[in-house]
Amino acid sequence: MSERQDFDRNRTDRPVPDALLTVADVIEMPSLRAGDPEVIVGGAALRGEVRWAHVSDSAGVARLLDGGELLLTTGAGWPDDPDALRELIRGLHDAGVAGVVIELGEQHPRIPDAVAEVCHEVDLALVALTREVKFVAVTEAVHRALIAAQTDALRERQRLHELFTALSLRGAPADVVVAETARVLGAPVVLENLAGELIAVEGLRRPVAGVLAERRDGATRDEVPVQARGVRWGSLMALAGPAHPAGRVTVLEQGATALAFGCLADGGDAEWTLLAQRGVIDDLLGARFASVDDITARLQAGGFPVAGRYVYGLVLGGDGTIDGIVDRARDRGVAAISGRIGAADVALLSTARADTLSDEVVAGIAGAGRTAFLGPAAEGVLELLASVGAAVDLAEGIGDAGGPRVRRVDDRPLERLVSSLRDDHRLHAHSERMLAPLARYDRERRGDLLDVLAALVAHPGNRSAAAAASHLSRSVFYQRLTLISDLLDADLDDGETLAALHLALLARRRSAVPTR
């Protein structure tokens, strides 16, 4: 969702760019260190941006300053009256000086109390030099550093322009732009839409849950809008990190411009939502997350609540599109995210109550003409992963036979048992032990015995339907069953044997679904 708005040319959402040179940087220069500098007022004041160095002993120097100067002085022309000194320092502060460096000597063997008092009051950096220095050497060093920094900044801005222009021309998706922005800044970067929902995040090896918590708690950060032609789609923000030669905000603006070009090319930010949902589902199913907290934070930041909710995995069968499922779910009071993962349309559903998802509601969410395979209710990410896996197993096991309808794992006790025992090695050992002869035969002779057995257990008591599901004639199907019985040395008409084989097949399919 985008927002068209009129912008006030006199207002900006941008923070102040990184300083090329600060008072603290100047204090560390050898030319100034030679004066044994003593910081009288420091702290945050030392981060003041130095735009130039100015040497003057005049009491009226404030009228000659434009702001950002570091004043170097002996105070020889300053008044002795405390009130006059206070007025002088306030005038310097009003002129925007970055700081005051006073060389102590006969005129001022120590910093006057009135000067220190006002500097503390207005948070103006104040430094005393206890030894004589050549002010010309200090100014030369400052100016050389500024010119070098400006040159580096121009070079970096050109490099950034080339990088993000290339990303735009290649049509790089939003998550790639965010990752490149974070890499350049050396700090976590977050992209969110106008609703405050997470679209993409790059934590640079930091836990995603921690990054999103800082973003939510309003930690120190730089932020720029993603906008173009009077339309705003979201915000790009970077958490605290190192300074950048071109300025952190400049880097963010270049990234935001590349994102805005993408929105213009795609006709809006709809692709953002698809990217975010597909990415988090893909990472969940592929177990590509560092911790449960990280994937939970990503889900919740994307508008999918997990804590204190009932969550479900949903797989859609039949012909159709995944588009619209989130809106249909929202209309029914259900939070959802969806994506096409491989050949499957997968959705995650979140409800406040366990009885919300009636067959009618689930069918409405799935859309006309589609079969809905619903996993069991879960109360956390790992259980949600198992719910998705169980829904996938059910979809693969029975398919769309019988036409569009709602099929629940809860209605199939063996599916749910296998899902609940997904990490039990004894279940997988049972599967391997029972099915090993068939797996070996299929592997060595490119056979289909496992598929035939799966059709048999899916249609107990109806071997004609099982043969049809296998796409085999009845005579060939019966021949396969005889071969299976011989290889397993088992009676396929025995209910207990058939149940054990069914359990083994479900466990075998389940082991192919990534878990965490």
Domains in the chain: boundaries: 1-13+159-302, 35-132, 304-412, 425-511
Q: How far is CA 391 from the centre of its chain?
A: 27
Could you tell me the mean pLDDT of each successive run of 10 residues in the chain, 516 residues long? 44 44 92 93 91 92 91 92 95 94 89 94 94 92 89 88 90 91 94 88 88 79 90 92 88 94 81 81 75 86 89 86 86 89 84 90 90 90 85 72 76 69 76 90 89 86 85 90 92 88 80 46
pLDDT of residue 13: 36
pLDDT of residue 186: 94
User: 318-345 burial, b for 16+ CB within 10 Å, e for fewer?
Assistant: bebebeebbebbeebebbbbbbbbeebb
Phi-psi map region of 172: left, alpha, beta (phi>0 left; psi -120 to 50 alpha): beta
Number of H helices, E strands in the chain: 19, 15
Question: Which residue type, as a one-letter code, is found at position 124?
Answer: L
> Architecture of domain 1-13+159-302 in CATH?
2-Layer Sandwich (3.30)
pLDDT of residue 54: 93
pLDDT of residue 246: 84
pLDDT of residue 17: 44
Angstrom distance (rounded) from CA 95 to CA 473: 94
pLDDT of residue 468: 86
First to last CA, the chain: 34
Domain 304-412 has CATH 1.20.1510: no
pLDDT of residue 216: 76
Is the pTM here over 0.95, yes or no? Answer: no
Angstrom distance (rounded) from CA 508 to CA 116: 78
Angstrom distance (rounded) from CA 46 to CA 25: 8
> Architecture of domain 35-132 in CATH?
3-Layer(aba) Sandwich (3.40)
